[in-house]
Structure 1
Amino acid sequence: MLEISTQKDVMQAAGVIVLRPVRRCALLPRLSQANRQLSVSTGATTTDVPVVTPLPAKSSLKMRAWQLHCYGDIDELQFTDKLKLPQIRNSHECLVRVRATTVNPIDLAMLRGYGSTLLSMLRCRPGEDIEFPMTLGREFCGELVQKGMGVDNAELQLGTRVWGVVPVSQTSGAHADFVVVPASCLAPAPVELDDSEAASVLYAGLTAWSGLYLTGGLGGVCGATTTSGGGANKRVLVLGGSGGVGTLAIQILKSQGVQVLATCSEDAVEMVRCLGADHVVDYYNPVAMEELCNYAPYDIVLDCAGQGGQHAGDLKYDFRQYITFSSPLLANIDKQGLGLGALKNVSDLLQTNVKAAQRGGLVKWGYFYPAAHGIKFLQRLVERRKLMPLIDSTFEFGALPKAYERLKGGHLRGKTVVKL
């Protein structure tokens, strides 16, 4: 049984209160304003006030979506406006009308077939081996319009403005008018963020949170299992501090009293410093990079720049943990199959740790994990005005392939948003 929303009220758009981190400067108060000044060239709208409308009659239950029918490049994305709405198949699932979504590096990688060997096993139902058509999109902000009878979270009422993430095991993602996700992957969207900003937090934010608190154990057992966070007086180096994960990682760390150092390109140094980083260096400047030795050892070196575990052995400074989000785990399985790929993963991890042993630390692989208490942790930071996503560019839904092209071009300063 499902509950169906019939509300027609206009959702109230709340003003964004600008984040003011420990290190204040003139740039940061303009971040919220810059996020709202959407480029005319992308065809973005200028309002985030969603109208809450009822679902259409059953005879017209169709929606728009960008689908993938085979792996390849961006030109494989196909638009349809005749797709059936995704169905709730579990009593703990929810149907959300998507108002804004994003394009993440994982979407571009999955478009090309990354992780298909293992993920297709998770996506396909028993007795089936069909993984296409696939709809990408890992995060969103929207309106809750249906929910299973097993959803007992009092905060998730029909018509609620929500933000959420889509597990990578799903073939139906958020690059569509509607998406179905487990209730544990949803929460009321913070009023401090508009739709575009709210859609830009959870995937990168949960990736950073998971790397720091689940993989890195920064806050101990409580940090990994509750919303308490932690890490005061620790020292963390963030490689790639200007990207989607890096910008949120810096803000998370500073909110917990961590000493943060970061690397980025020269043109992003001021921006990263305004996020609160205590010391920022241009990674193209060898003299500046040498300065990082003066702050060693690091409790964690967080690789948000795609350097990979092999890079750990080349570092000139000591660390206790090197955590990278660019692990070969899925790629090895794609190339060599489940059995041999798993053995190759063990071998790769051992080799990188042997190489990095001279620095006295461990190399670990970070990952995205859609934990409900991780979402709550990020929500509290937003409410305390300690976390604000950066938006690089915004596109209309019909121009979604252009958002992929923007991401493919690299050198982003924040997230790529798509508005529906």
Structure 2
Amino acid sequence: MKDQPATVIGGSASGQSHQVASTMQAVVQDGYGTSDVLRVAEIARPVIGPREVLVEVRAAGLDRGTWHLMQGKPRLLRLVFGLRSPKQPVIGRDVAGVVVEVGTEVTAFAVGDEVFGVAPGSVAEYAVAREDKLAHRPATVTWEQAAVVPISGGTALQAVVDAGRVAAGQKVLVIGASGGVGSYAVQLAKAAGAEVTGVASAAKADLVRALGADHVLDYAVDDIADGTRHYDLIIDIAGLCELSRLRRALTPRGTLVLVGGEGGGDWTGGTMGRQLRARLSSAFSGQRLTSVIAQERGADYVRLAALLESGQVVPSLERAYPLAETVDAMRHLEAGRVRGKIAVTARSGA
């Protein structure tokens, strides 16, 4: 990655602050593509608005969402994030760090607070976050662990607890159990008292068991719809299984929750059509088929913080990379080899 200047547009003036640098190191992209579009650049530090805070980044999380935004795929994403190149050139959204400046209308946080949540452009030394997309960092987790919780953990919470309505004693199937969202989905279902079966590759079966799964199926060998077992709740994160097979694996009154998914068309990724078909099928069946489009909410991160503090949820962090090695981290993610989550540390020794 070559160091070149880039421009980041900031907001309005701020309130409480302490002295911070006017420039920073960040990982940026000037266009869409593979990890080769990424580079480290010295850029202007972003400016906060009245309801925003400036976070000195200690660690940032990387996930499939970051990869999709880097690629600009599915292409419908570009209508929101930029047609030819990203409106936000700095990659990353998950963040953990220390508040160093607060906007004039911020009431929930003060300079010096340790926080985690969502801040677009988090793979940098500083990032701006909205007040309503942060929570206080639990003392029981490291910076790197906190940084890999918000988006994946929040998505899992919305899928398993809110949409799935998981309950004690239920049989729950998590497809894609070894990934970012899946690793939290398994733990959240177990925390609710469910019997959990995780679907993953054979190479990651040990990880899924370590997360607390009672049973593990190899997606390349085991058939989830062979009729030998039925589930009250299925959380499908991988998105590669036909709806008819998922329905056969459900109990007659069971619930299926679709969470994103890979594959499909270049424009929509196949997700939108699949979710629409699921909802239409649900209207004519005793089974409840629904989907989750994840929301970034500080209130969810507060809920997750309580679970982290109690030890019911532990972030599955494979490793952390220094900022200068972000390209290597993204290549590892692209290859599908990540077990759980990976992070980037913005500051050495943080």
TM band (smaller chain): 0.7 to 0.9
Amino acid at match of 2:158: S
**Alignment root-mean-square deviation, CA:** 3.1
Q: CA deviation at 1:402?
A: 0.6
- Relative to structure 1, the CA distance from residue 266 to residue 360 in structure 2 (aligned partners, 3 Å threshold; closer, same or farther) is farther
1:253 matched residue in structure 2? 189
The yes-or-no answer on 1:244 pairing with 2:174 is: no
Match of 1:274 among 210, 214, 237: 210
The correspondence of residues 43-58 of structure 1 with structure 2, limited to 5 A, is 54-56=19-21
Aligned residues: 331
Amino acid at match of 2:145: E
Asked if the contact 1:163/1:187 (under 8 Å) is kept, the reply is yes
2:3 matched residue in structure 1? none
2:117 matched residue in structure 1? 164
The yes-or-no answer on 1:317 pairing with 2:249 is: yes
2:65 matched residue in structure 1? 106
2:14 matched residue in structure 1? 2
Q: CA deviation at 1:389?
A: 0.9
CA distance in 1, matches of 2:215, 2:179: 17
Alignment gaps of 5+ in structure 1: 7-53, 167-171, 220-230
TM-score, structure 1 normalization: 0.71
The yes-or-no answer on 1:301 pairing with 2:260 is: no
Amino acid at match of 1:94: V
- Relative to structure 1, the CA distance from residue 313 to residue 404 in structure 2 (aligned partners, 3 Å threshold; closer, same or farther) is same
Q: CA deviation at 1:279?
A: 1.9
Identical-pair percentage: 26
The yes-or-no answer on 1:398 pairing with 2:324 is: yes
The yes-or-no answer on 1:207 pairing with 2:155 is: yes
The structure whose residues are more often strand, as a share, is 2
Q: CA deviation at 1:314?
A: 2.4
The yes-or-no answer on 1:389 pairing with 2:343 is: no
1:66 matched residue in structure 2? 27
Deviations 1:326-364 (A, max 9, x none): 359x968x469xxxx9xx94x654545567899853433
Alignment gaps of 5+ in structure 2: 1-12
Q: CA deviation at 1:371?
A: 1.9
Q: CA deviation at 1:129?
A: 10
The correspondence of residues 95-134 of structure 1 with structure 2, limited to 5 A, is 95-114=54-73, 117=76, 120-121=79-80, 131-132=86-87, 134=89
The structure whose residues are more often helix, as a share, is 1
1:34 matched residue in structure 2? none
Stretch of structure 1 that moved more, 371-380 or 130-139: 130-139
- Relative to structure 1, the CA distance from residue 360 to residue 101 in structure 2 (aligned partners, 3 Å threshold; closer, same or farther) is same
The yes-or-no answer on 1:135 pairing with 2:90 is: yes
Could you say what secondary structure the match of 1:286 adopts? coil
1:38 matched residue in structure 2? none
Q: CA deviation at 1:144?
A: 0.3
Could you say what secondary structure the match of 1:140 adopts? strand
Amino acid at match of 1:284: A
Asked if the contact 2:259/2:292 (under 8 Å) is kept, the reply is yes
- Relative to structure 1, the CA distance from residue 185 to residue 350 in structure 2 (aligned partners, 3 Å threshold; closer, same or farther) is closer
CA distance in 1, matches of 2:107, 2:279: 45
Deviations 1:259-312 (A, max 9, x none): 21211222322332232222222222337x46x74441x23210122326xx22
Deviations 1:207-230 (A, max 9, x none): 1111223433x16xxxxxxxxxxx
